[in-house]
Structures are given as C-alpha cells and as structure tokens.
C-alpha cells in the first residue's frame, strides 16, 4: 500500500504499564526512476509529491539540464513499488544511456550507485550573488517550517526541505523519510513552477552533507540553513560554490560557516570596522 502515512497497531510499554493502540507512521516504498524505458535508479522514499521528486532528482543528478527536457512523465503504481516513467528527447536519452546505473538506494541515500570518487565529489554549480538577510529573517524562516510539516506533525519521523523568500515566506515545502529525497522534491517543485531561487533560502531539517550542498547549488539558492551540523566536505563545497552555509539553527540562534557577507548584521559590522 503506497500511502504517505498509515496507522500501525503496536504494543506500548511505558513506566511499567502495557497498553495497545495504533500509531501513525510514514510510508516508505521503492521509487524507480526510468528514462525512455530503462531504469536509472531505485530509491526508497515517501510516496508523495512524486512528480516533483522525478523532476528534482533528474535536475539535481544532472540527468537533465531543464524541466523542459522531460517530454512526458507518468507515475505508475505497481504492487511492489512505484515507477516514475520519464521520456526524454533523443539527444538527452542517448546521454543518459551512457551513464545509466542500476541501484537500490537505502532511505535518503544521496549518491548510491556513483561509480567513481570524482563523480561523488564533483564541483557544485556556482550560485548567483543573491541578497543579504538579517539574523531575524533567518530565524523567522526556520520557525515557519514546523507548522507546515503535515506528515511530520502526524509521525515525527520525516525530513523537510523548504524554500523561503522575504516577500512570500515559505514558497514550497516537501517532506520525505529521506533528507535527499525531500530536497529533490523541493527542487522539482521550484523547477515546475519556474521559481527563481536566487532571492531566497533553502531550509533543511537535517544535517548538511556534501550532496545537500550540491543539490542546493543546482537549485541556484545562495543561502542554505539547516538545523544540524555540516560535514567538513560540505563546508568546503559550499565555500567553493559561493553558498552561505548556515547550520545548527536553533531557537536561540545559528552558526555561519561560509560566505558570512550575506548576513546583513555581519556586513554592517564590516563597514563599521573599515570606517574605524
């Protein structure tokens, strides 16, 4: 049964007392991404916003260069999983066939099936300059995520990726049991709506690994904010891509690891120091 959330009966042991009842938990199912009839990847994920996932994965993995490269997309629900069937133009299809891989990725695996170290640590795209954000805006953006996480409110077991702008607040938010999948879904949503990402921030409820930076760079967002810590490689990749990487964002503040100049208060202090 391919549903985002389902109720499961369980036995509960708390404080020496035993009881029974149902609990809502997130769905997880194999998601096969196919191009022109050939399987490229199989990921485990939450069966929701699957068109967004198909488009976002294709863009973030470099399978396509534009959402327009996908000529048709069909979501086919099978007994043992879901196929995301995409058809590309002949030139794109030929390129994909050269690098096709057959993988079974564990939940949230971002680089399953990569067959070379160079491909795993490929340079991220260089992001545009974007704009500056005050610390207050960054905190406001992060606080806006939780109320919109409909699956997590029910299950407390999924990640979210969101895009926020000062003028519109949360523009899009996507959830998944896999943090990479959630970001792919967000990328697909933004691409399908033709949303320009240079004026906003990508928000994450997870830690920041190098793949998350690479995907954010592919989206074109100059700022990413996460609740957990980054890896050392993620920091180096963000620095090279021109991304302002903000992490360990809590109710009392956050930590800025790269390109601090996009934080308005920091830039104001630099001006004061120069004048002094």
- 223-226 and 169-176: which strand pairing? unpaired
Catalytic residue among 24, 93, 109, 125: 109
Query: How far is 2 from 80, CA to CA, in rounded Å?
Result: 9
- Beta strand extents in the chain (DSSP E only): 5-14, 17-26, 29-35, 38-45, 70-78, 81-88, 104-105, 159-165, 169-176, 201-204, 223-226, 244-250, 253-256
Report the helix count and the strand count for the chain, using DSSP H and E.
9, 13
Residue with tokens 């606080």: 143
Write the burial class of residue 68 (CB in 10 Å: 0-12 exposed, 13-18 middle, 19+ buried).
Answer: exposed
Question: Could you tell me the maximum CA-CA distance found in the chain, to the nearest angstrom?
Answer: 69
In terms of phi and psi (left: phi > 0; alpha: psi -120 to 50; beta: otherwise), the region of 265 is alpha
Residue with tokens 């299950």: 155
Task: Give the Cβ contact number of residue 103 at 10 Å.
Answer: 16
Residue with tokens 């194999």: 30
Give the angle 54-58-62 at the CA atoms, nearest 5°: 170
In terms of phi and psi (left: phi > 0; alpha: psi -120 to 50; beta: otherwise), the region of 67 is alpha
User: Can 112 be counted among the known catalytic residues?
Assistant: no
Hey, which residues are catalytic here?
Answer: 109
């Amino acid at each position: 049964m391919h549903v985002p959330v389902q109720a499961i009966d369980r036995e509960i042991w708390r404080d020496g007392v035993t009881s029974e009842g149902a609990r809502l938990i997130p769905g997880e199912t194999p998601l096969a991404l196919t191009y022109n009839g050939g399987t490229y990847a199989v990921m485990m994920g939450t069966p929701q916003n699957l068109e967004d996932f198909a488009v976002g994965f294709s863009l973030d993995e470099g399978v396509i260069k534009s959402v327009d490269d996908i000529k048709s997309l069909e979501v086919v629900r099978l007994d043992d999983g879901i196929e995301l069937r995409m058809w590309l133009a002949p030139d794109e299809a030929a390129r994909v066939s050269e690098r096709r891989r057959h993988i079974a990725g564990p939940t949230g695996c971002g680089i399953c099936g990569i067959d070379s170290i160079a491909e795993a640590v490929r340079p991220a795209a260089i992001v545009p300059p974007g704009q500056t954000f005050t610390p207050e805006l960054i905190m406001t953006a992060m606080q806006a995520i939780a109320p919109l996480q409909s699956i997590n409110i029910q299950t407390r077991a999924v990640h979210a990726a969101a895009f926020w702008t000062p003028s519109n607040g949360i523009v899009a938010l996507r959830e998944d049991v896999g943090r990479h999948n959630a970001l792919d879904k967000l990328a697909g949503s933004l691409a399908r709506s033709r949303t320009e990402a240079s004026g906003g921030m990508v928000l994450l409820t997870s830690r920041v690994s190098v793949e998350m930076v690479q995907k954010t760079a592919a989206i074109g967002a100059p700022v990413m904010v996460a609740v957990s810590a980054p890896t050392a490689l993620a920091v180096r990749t963000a620095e090279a891509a021109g991304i302002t990487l903000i992490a360990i964002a809590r109710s009392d503040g956050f930590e800025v690891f790269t390109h601090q100049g996009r934080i308005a208060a920091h830039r104001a202090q630099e001006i004061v120091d120069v004048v002094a």
